[in-house]
Each structure stands twice: as C-alpha cells, then as structure tokens.
Structure 1
Amino acid sequence: MSIVAAFFDDAFPPKSKFSVDDIPDLTGKIAIVTGSSAGIGVETVKALLIHNAKVYMANRSEAKTAPIIQKLKEETGKEAIFLKLDLSNLRQVKQAAAEYLSKENELHMLFNNAGVMVPPIENITSDGYDLQFGTNVLGHFLFTTQLLPVLLSAARTTGKPSRVINTSSNAHRIAKTIEFETLKDGPKRLKKSPSNLYAQSKLGNILFANELARRYGDQGIVSTSLHPGLLRTELQRDMSKTQMRLFGWTFQPAEKGALTQLWAGTMPETEAYNGKYLSAWARVSQPNAASQDTVLAKNLWDWLEDQVAQL
C-alpha cells in the first residue's frame, strides 16, 4: 500500500465492529497506562475502570493527574492510582518501575500510550537523546523491560498472556530505517525535521514491539503495536498552523482513538495477535516494510539495551 493510500485508509477507516461495551469483566486484572493525563490515555483508563480493572495512571505530573483521577472516580465509581513516570528521564523511569514492583506482583496490561510529537528541534531529553525517540521509544523500552518480571508472573499465574500495547502512528510509513546517529543530540540530528524524527520514533515503536514479541511470545507476552487513528488530542500542541490546516479536518474525537488499544489489550481474540500491527478502528493492518525488518529490530533492541546498561 502506498503512503497516500495508507493515509486515506487511516483517515477514513471502516466503522468499528468493536465497542467498549464488548470488553469482558476485568476484575483481578491490573493495567498501567502511560501518558494518561489527556486524550486517548484518559479514555483508555476510563474504559478499564468501568470494567473493573485496577489501573495505574503513569504520568509526569501528579498535580495534573489528581483532578482527572477524581473526575474518573465520579464517572465510574472506581479510583485509579497515580504512578510518577517521566519517560524523558531514564533514571526516573527506572524509579517508576521500582515503585510499581514494590506494590504489585503482577501486571496484566501495559499500555505504552505516551508520546511526544513534533516538538521544537532543540528539545532533548535530560539524558541528551532526541526528545521524541527518547520519550516514545527508549523510555518505554526501559519501563517495559523493567516490568517484565510482573508481566511474566501474571501470565504464569493466570495461564493467559499478558499484553504489551505500543501506540505507534501511521506516520511510521514515512521512515525507511532507523538512523542511529540521529537518536542522540548532535549535528546529524539537527539536520532532520521534527516530523521526520517523529516518524522515525513511530517506526521504532513497531520494531520494539515486534522484537519483544519474538523474544517473549513463547513466555506468555502478547506484544502489539498500533495506529490509533487520526485524533484531536493534546498531541498536536506543537503542530504548525500549516500542518493543522492540512490534517486537522481528518481528526476524530479522542474516545474513538482508545478503541484499538482497548481491543488489543482486553479481548480474547487478540491473544493470537502477537507481533501484529493494528489500526483504526480495531482491525489488523499492514505496516511499512522497514518495520518488518528483523535485523533492524534486533539492532535497535541491542542499541536500546546499551543505552540503559549502566543505569
């Protein structure tokens, strides 16, 4: 499928056959949703609470998250739990995982939902990485791998796979490979546009998800990646007026964007979708060729491991 054809397929997907009402009872299940202080993250948390899951909202700001927790409690009768997570700071990511591990022995659903899109080029993480790749890919890699013990424990205890759901984007189609020399701050990174760096990070999400599927699928983890749809959320805060004029008319409400990741994380049929790429609204789709490159995926995993080895 060409980039243009894929864009129109993503912009105008068929009506979903899945709704949040289809989610089974999640009593006894624990979920973490990163980036859940706005947009599809909040909608994901709400649906999980309605269906009786215990939900940790992993966000940077407790002050911003607290009123959302209260609002969700009023709407659902269930109270989510705040977990401080700053994906742009690797040591803090490790602390967040340690905090969770000190409280829980299992994790059934990990929604790697947080993301940064087209910030100013000068923005980098506290560790010196490109802000988009450092947050969208490296931070989530560290968080996920630190939580592997409880993901695997949940799979052993329940006899059902634990789910890791990685939110990517149709923007990944623009990226042809991972240019490793652009992942840290430096002259080569500064020659790239924020849009190209975003696309590269979204390709990274799929490659990571696929490699996680290959390494841990036989141990009880189902790892998927997805394009949630073209959505109207806070993610567009750094988009230019030109970009908004070009694409803004296609954006859908945030609650629709939660459908695909909720489907991936909760439904019995998606237990068989390890390593699959999903798209709006709740369907299997085909990502670009680069995302299926197993050598590139292994090289990325090795690079990610190297970055966090000394923490």
Structure 2
Amino acid sequence: MTWSTADIPDLTGRRALVTGATSGLGYETAKALLEHGAEVLVAARNPEKTADAVERLQQATGKQPVSVELDLADLSSVERAATHVANSYDSLDILVNNAGVMATPFRQTIDGFELQIGTNHLGHFALTGRLMPLLKGGRVVTVSSFMHKSARGIAEADLRQQASGYSKWPQYSKSKLANVLFMLELGRRVPAVLSVGAHPGYASTHLQAAGPELAGAKLTAKLWSGANLFAQSAAAGAQPSLYAATQPELQPGTYVGPSFFEFRGAPKLVHPTRTAQDPELAQRLWVWSVEATGVDPALTVPR
C-alpha cells in the first residue's frame, strides 16, 4: 500500500480536535487536516506555545485553527476543556489522542497518578469520555508506539506507581500498551464511534529529549537530538495518524504504522501484540480507568 497526505479526502465541513498539536506529530497532523479543509481545534497545555502554533498553522495553511487549553495531567483541566468544546460546538468528527510524555523522571499528575500513564492514557480516556456526546458517527484515533510491544502487561498499581521501583522506559511502554487496550475496548463498547489507532515508528520530534530535559540531563537530551538524525521527519511520522483519521471505510480496531518494519515509511495496517489484544486485560483496564477518572466513555452516549 502506497499512501501519502495527497490521498486525504476533502474534509470541508469536518471538525477535528488534536491533542499536543503545538509541535511534532500533533502539529503535522493538525496542519494536514487544515490543508484538506477541516476545522481544527489545537488542544495543548501551554497557552503561549499553543498561540504560537496557531499562528504558524495559520501562516502555513491560510486556515485559522482554534486553541483549546488542555492539561492531560490534570483531570479538572480535562473537564474544563471538554466543557468548553461542548459549549462551543454541537459535534466533533475526529478526535486525535496524540499528546504524550516519554521516559520522564518519576513525577505524579495533579491527581496523584504516575505522570506517563496519567498523561498518555488516563487524560485521554477522560477526554474521550467527556467529548463522547459530540462524537456520534465520528472517529477517535489513539496514538500509541511500537514500544507497547515491550510491555508484558499492566496492573492497577501501575496507575499510581510510586518512586520506589519506578523505571521510566517500562512505565512508558505500559502507557502505550494502555493506549492500544483502550482503543480496542472503546470500539467494542461504543459502536457509535469508529475507534482506531496508529503509531509513528521512529520519528524526529522533541518528545525523546523532553524526558531528559525534565530530569536536567542536558547531555542526554542532546544525544537524543543527535539520534533524531536517523529518524524520519515528524511529517512522515504523522502519516499513520492521518491515515487512521481520514481513510474511508476503516474497520473498528484498525491499527496503522509505518511500512518498513514499522520503523519508517508509508503507512500500512499493522498488528498490536497479543497482550494488547487481550480483551480481559482491556476490560480490567477500563474498570480501573473509570474508577481513576470518574468518567465512563461508554455511558456518555453520543447525541
């Protein structure tokens, strides 16, 4: 299968929300959606960076995106953002759950969850649930990573992992496993929306260096930046997400990644691990996530 952003259909009249769209994959996803006629909401944590991204997107595409303040590591911020969107719009056609953090030093979210799982999974779980009334007939794209393949499972205790025993890469992998488990379970529980997933392969973004920067490890951050010389561009890395968000007639649970050993190249349909496809594990994660966030996407019925 050979596919590029030139194959994206006309999206005039469609509305999309992309999380983490101030840079990297999210920015490129928002840019391509705008270029093909969609109205795009740019949801991100830092108001200054969001305003800058909105300006750059407008200059690049001639289309005016809308900013939404959203901190996925704060469930009250998720609620405020979703309420704002619901009060401003009557429908949402595409939700791209893209934002994330990677390999951070031990931190907790405002609500006491481990930062990586709290941001990458729980924040998006709650956001999806709170936006569900707008999404009837719409599409939810959850962005994972090939790193989910190294996770052998996930337990309820991982949501509130403590500093003792914390290991940043295994925890990141679990958060990405949670993304796939959620994507598949959402499709089973809420057939009124199309739930699909994607991963970028190895793409050049700031995400790799952000964790070391947070830890104050400037040299490691520079090494990651150097390693990005071997990665595909953020625009190329965004193609699987864009395929998942726009390709007609996809089936629920479709998972898209790069064609060359899932590392780089044009998007194609790929397969999550057997663990990620375990329905019993997905059901348990769903229950834990509902208890953690107070939101059940299966109960917030689309309008």
Give the TM-score taking structure 1 as reference length. 0.86
1:264 corresponds to which letter in structure 2? A
Closer, same or farther: CA 246–33 of 1 in aligned 2, 3 Å:
same
Q: Secondary structure at the match of 2:190?
A: helix
Displacement, 1:246? 10
User: Structure 1 residue 43 and structure 2 residue 28: aligned?
Assistant: yes
| Local SS of the residue matching 1:289 | coil
Partner of residue 233 from structure 1, selected from 192, 205, 212: 205
Give 1:279's aligned residue: 257
**Aligned twin of 1:163:** 139
1:184 corresponds to which letter in structure 2? R
Q: Which aligned segments of 4 or more residues in structure 1 are displaced greater than 3 angstroms?
A: 239-250
SS of 2:160 mapped into structure 1: coil
CA RMSD of aligned residues (A): 1.9
The answer for the alignment partner of 2:275 in structure 1 is 290
Q: Which runs of 5+ in 2 are unaligned?
A: 213-219, 259-265, 297-303
Q: How does 1:116-265 map to 2 (within 5 A)?
A: 116-121=101-106, 123-152=107-136, 155=137, 162-186=138-162, 190-217=164-191, 219=192, 221-237=193-209, 238-239=211-212, 240=220, 244=224, 248=228, 250-265=230-245
- The question of whether the paired residues in 2 share the 8 Å contact of 1:128 and 1:185 is answered with no
Separation of aligned partners in 1, 2:2 and 2:243 = 10
Contact 2:98-2:143 within 8 A present in 1 as well: yes
Q: 1:185: how far off?
A: 4.0
Give the secondary structure class of the aligned counterpart of 1:200. Answer: helix
Cα distance, 1:179–1:246 mapped onto 2, change above 3 Å: farther
**Equivalent residues in 2 for 1:84-103, closer than 5 Å:** 84-103=69-88
Alpha carbons of 1:91 and 1:245: their partners in 2 closer, same or farther (altered >3 Å)? Answer: closer
Q: Per-residue displacement from partner, 1:74-99 (whole Å, max 9, x unpaired)? A: 22110100001000000110110000
Contact 2:21 2:53 in 1 (8 A): no
- Number of residue pairs the alignment of both structures matches: 281
Corresponding residue number in structure 2 for 1:303: 288
Mean Cα deviation higher: 275-284 or 29-38: 275-284
Residue 305 (structure 1) shift: 0.5
Structure 1 residues 84 and 241: alpha-carbon distance in aligned structure 2, compared to 1, 3 A threshold:
closer
Shift of 1:241: 6.3
Give, in whole Å, the separation in 1 of the partners of 2:48 and 2:232: 28
In structure 1, distance between residues paired with 2:5 and 2:226: 31
Give the % identical residues.
39
Shift of 1:287: 1.3
Is residue 31 of structure 1 aligned with residue 7 of structure 2?
no
- Structure-1 separation of matches of 2:158 and 2:5: 39
> How much does 1:272 deviate?
2.5
Identify the structure with the greater helix proportion.
1
CA contact (8 A) 2:73 2:109 kept: yes
When normalised by structure 2's length, the TM-score is: 0.88
Tell me by how many angstroms 1:110 deviates.
0.3
Structure 1, 142-151 or 177-186: larger mean CA deviation: 177-186
CA offsets 1:229-269 (integer angstroms, 9 cap, x no match): 2011110112546984996454211000111111111121x
Deviation at 1:212, TM superposition (A): 0.3
TM-aligned CA distance change 1:67 to 1:244, over 3 Å: closer
Question: CA–CA distance in 1 between the matches of 2:224 and 2:274?
Answer: 28
Summarize the Cα distance change of 1:211–1:246 in structure 2 as closer, same or farther, 3 Å threshold: farther
